[in-house]
Structure 1
């Protein structure tokens, strides 16, 4: 490594050393603010008022969402033939990894750790496994950008900038075209160097399949929250989904557990319900179905994997 490369590497380390704690700290402050606004008696009463149909629908949508998350691994491991990972094992591992990382935060670290354990990959041979994790996040961000772009292009009044509809619509079209251009560039798979770090991308076809899985996840999980919104704040589904995608993205970037704080603050501000106890209650119920219950199931699966030697029949017969 040349002196210039070494200096650049040190610069990146110093940058991330400051950025991650700052984002985590900001998320912690927002989380404390959110928890302060929860009216616990109101929340308990709201839970008792939930009917069986709403609970069943929330559970079904959460299941659909995690099917989308599981599909990330199923699609990506098809490129890792030397590891001979069965599809069923990939699905269970993917869902478990997201169940853990969605609760604990730091998804790249926690998700990779779960996959290392359940796939039985040696720690000195993480390259192919990291491509599985990375390809899923590429698909997630591509879909997030494309969904926001499509909503803004079709419904520029969905957010708060109705007086700048033309500019908003143009911005939405540019976002969609940028995603399309990236997919065209991918072809049969590409490599790129970012900050002197080599990134390997899977093919356009597999990325498109992962994007479809991401759409399933984002739409289904968004509908879980939509179920619990106060009627006067729910508004139209297109506007809500634009705010939801932005909130999820900011939650991921915050690296706080489950994006707690950043996600809730974005939803409250975006829906115009800042400080409202009924909206805080809806967000808490969403967390219960979308974050806490999957985490509990994921812990059980990890315990089973531990008893079976850390691997759930991952090898193809």
Structure 2
């Protein structure tokens, strides 16, 4: 049985790497067909006002996401200060965006929180609740957008607006089911693959939903502003939501190339390639790279603070 389990794990890992290689080949092949001088011209043509507005929305999104772990603090009752929790969440999120969930969202949280005195069970519960908050808002927002604002798909695609509405209804149903579970099974603890997950109160669930939906909406707003509002906001938001899931499925760090491929596939018949890629390059700079630089400095400061706390505990115990 152990050998079969090991063989299955190896097969899944090989399939993941094969899929990653296929995506990489497709991205490289697509990159060779792009007129990069046109992309740079489009990037330079974005007005300063649009860049500043997009930067403000990006900062708002990162600030809002940094509060997600405060909900986990409320659920677990740990005593780290709000500023400390938000700093850890921001660092983890910035590294998650650029290096992937396992390195950023998971590894950084475990390292930083454990150095700040939290045990692994508490960290796991905080992390799980934060991830749940993020994807709950995604389900409901994507469901609403696909149901009520279906995007104009390329003419050669087999799926039409009706197919998107059905998908949206399924996503909405999943979100509503979670809210119903919170109303019925309040403060219930579930065992999922050996980890505990608490069902929050309905009030907390509504707060999760509102915070996450606003965060995803802000991210869509960043790209919409950088595209200089040439397309309806719901349509840009819908494409961004599709790209977000595509990036998670492919396991490409930062969704590099995946985000661009999705936008080109779904909006390439509406806007020139150069316009789309120029806006997406600006988006990566504002939402991924600049926060990463800030997070790297904050990480060093947090490590130093954690070391001082540890040295203080050692001194007190002597």
Who is 1:137 aligned against?
131
Q: Aligned Cα RMSD in Å? A: 3.3
Equivalent of 2:209 in 194, 211, 216: 211
Q: Highest relative contact order (Cα 8 Å, sep 6+), 1 or 2? A: 1
How far apart, in 2, do the equivalents of 1:255 and 1:166 lie? 29
Select which of 208, 223, 234 maps to 2:221.
223
**1:150–1:172 CA contact under 8 A, matched in 2:** yes
The separation in 1 between residues aligned to 2:118 and 2:181, in whole angstroms, is 31
Change (3 A) 1:32 1:71: farther
Q: Which residue of 2 aligns with 1:283?
A: 280
What residue is the counterpart of 1:263 in the other structure?
Answer: 259
Aligned residues of 2:125 and 2:197 also touching (Cα < 8 A): yes
- Say whether residues 1:146 and 2:128 are aligned partners: no
User: CA separation of 1:305/1:121 partners in 2, compared to 1, >3 Å: closer, same or farther?
Assistant: closer
Q: Secondary structure at the match of 2:197?
A: strand
Equivalent of 1:237 in 218, 233, 238? 233
For residue 296 of structure 1, give the secondary structure of its aligned residue in structure 2.
Answer: helix
Query: If the length of structure 2 is used for normalisation, what is the TM-score?
Result: 0.81
Within-5 A mapping of 1:191-202: 191-192=189-190, 196-202=193-199
Gaps of 5+ in 2: 311-318
Q: CA deviation at 1:245?
A: 0.6
Question: If the length of structure 1 is used for normalisation, what is the TM-score?
Answer: 0.81
What do residues 171-191 of structure 1 show as CA deviations (whole Å, max 9, x unaligned)?
A: 433431221112212332445
Which of 285, 300, 305 matches 1:303?
A: 300
1:84 pairs with 2:79 = yes
Q: Within 2, Cα distance between the matches of 1:197 and 1:11? A: 22
Instruction: Give SS of 2:227's match.
Output: coil
1:111 Cα deviation from its structure 2 partner: 1.7
Q: Which moved more, 1:62-71 or 1:132-141?
A: 132-141
Distance 1:206 1:109, change over 3 A: farther
Would the alpha carbon gap of residues 246 and 157 (structure 1) be closer, same or farther in structure 2, given more than 3 Å must change?
A: closer
Question: By how many angstroms is 1:302 displaced?
Answer: 0.8
> Which residue of structure 1 aligns with residue 149 of structure 2?
155
- Which residue matches 1:119? 113
Q: Distance in 1 between matches of 2:49 and 2:83?
A: 30
How far is the alpha carbon of 1:28 from its aligned partner?
3.0
CA distance in 2 between counterparts of 1:7 and 1:192 reads 30
Q: Distance in 2 between matches of 1:214 and 1:26?
A: 32
Write the mapping of 1:10-49 to structure 2, written as runs, cut at 5 A: 10=6, 13-14=9-10, 16-33=12-29, 35-36=31-32, 39-49=35-45
